[in-house]
Amino acid sequence: MKLRTMIVDDEPLARERLRTLLGQDAECEIVAECDSGSQAIALIREHRPDLVFLDVQMPNVDGFGVLAGLEPEHLPHVIFVTAFDRFALRAFENHALDYLLKPFDEPRFHRALQHAKRWIRSHPEGENGRVAGLLRAVNEGHKYLERIVIKNRGRISFVRTENVDYIQAAGNYAELRVATESHLLRQTMQALEAQLDPQKFARIHRSIIVNLSRVKELQSSFGGDYVVVMSSGARLTLSRGYRTRLNGLLGVGA
């Protein structure tokens, strides 16, 4: 039987390269591909692939969020694909089937694929616990920011991440809202999000990240959309693409 594979990556060229490389292996069949984590969750449930090439960094639900959003019976075998070497590579080596660090060459890809095929054939019943173990290892092994350094007009100040209410994009800056104060940080939202604990902070909009401990309630609004109400009283828009993951992190139904 052919190995049912799936590609998840928000970069078109990256998907094309994976598609081309997989097409060279007669034992592989691509059953689906997509460019977002939220779509990946639905497609994995629908197609039940044997192996998923899963990008780590994606703009709404990231690779870890995809796995966290799946029921145990739907968890596939995974090869992570990442452009960053800071995502607990030792944990990947010990627990994941493999990881591909972009840019990877053709021999590296085929080594990862052959390793995955050998593993899957020797474990026909699957071993979803390995993926759950990977998630735990990654979260335990990755050292997330505990405080953020703010530089402003010759002064350096420190803000503990636990005190941040939410973060909002402001041009080339990220604006940290801490109670009644506001701090500008010259860093992209994507780079900052990668340094924050995903169990404590979540993106609710392309330009907003919230501290989950500061979320007071969710309120429905016109057209089926939701508003996130913070303990500070701030009312923030929740984009539909981020709702499923936020609900999961907050422990509420979809």
E strand or H helix at 100 = strand 98-101
Q: What is the pLDDT of residue 88?
A: 47
Instruction: Report the candidate in 151, 155, 175 with the shortest Cα–Cα distance to residue 165.
Output: 175
Domain that residue 53 falls in: 3-141
| The last residue of a domain, from among 91, 107, 141 | 141
Q: How many residues does the chain have?
A: 254
Q: Are 22 and 114 members of one domain?
A: yes
| Residue tagged 């984009």 (tokens) | 239
Q: CA-to-CA distance for 125 and 193, rounded, in angstroms? A: 36
CATH number at residue 86: 3.40.50.2300
Q: What is the pLDDT of residue 93?
A: 43
Q: Which residues pair with 69 in a beta bridge?
A: none
Report the chain (254 residues): mean pLDDT per 10 consecutive residues. Answer: 93 94 95 92 92 86 81 83 63 61 90 90 60 52 75 81 94 88 85 82 92 92 82 91 82 66
Peptide linkage before 103 cis (omega within 30 of 0) = yes
The pair of three-digit structure tokens given for residue 28, joined into one six-digit string: 């592989």
CA distances (Å), origin 253, targets 42, 209, 218, 243: 16, 21, 12, 10
Contacts by 27-31, CB closer than 8 A, 24 or more apart: 27/2, 27/3, 27/117, 28/2, 28/3, 28/113, 29/2, 29/3, 29/4, 29/5, 30/5, 30/6, 31/4, 31/5, 31/6
Q: What is the pLDDT of residue 156?
A: 81
CA distances (Å), origin 68, targets 16, 73, 181: 26, 12, 33
Dihedral sign computed on CA atoms, order 14, 19, 20, 26 = positive
Contact between 238 and 226 (Cβ < 8 Å): yes
SS3 49: coil
Q: CA-to-CA distance for 90 and 92, rounded, in angstroms? A: 5
| Type of residue at 215 | V
Q: Are 107 and 156 members of one domain?
A: no
SS3 176: strand
Q: Are 31 and 55 members of one domain?
A: yes
Q: CA-to-CA distance for 218 and 200, rounded, in angstroms? A: 17
Q: CA-to-CA distance for 69 and 177, rounded, in angstroms? A: 28
- Per DSSP bridges, beta strands 98-101 and 77-82 are parallel
Q: Are 125 and 237 members of one domain?
A: no
E strand or H helix at 238 = strand 235-238
Q: Are 28 and 136 members of one domain?
A: yes
Q: Are 134 and 186 members of one domain?
A: no
Q: What is the pLDDT of residue 56?
A: 85
Helices (H) and strands (E) in the chain, counts: 8, 15
Number of structural domains found in the chain: 2
Q: Are 183 and 208 members of one domain?
A: yes
Q: Are 151 and 123 members of one domain?
A: no
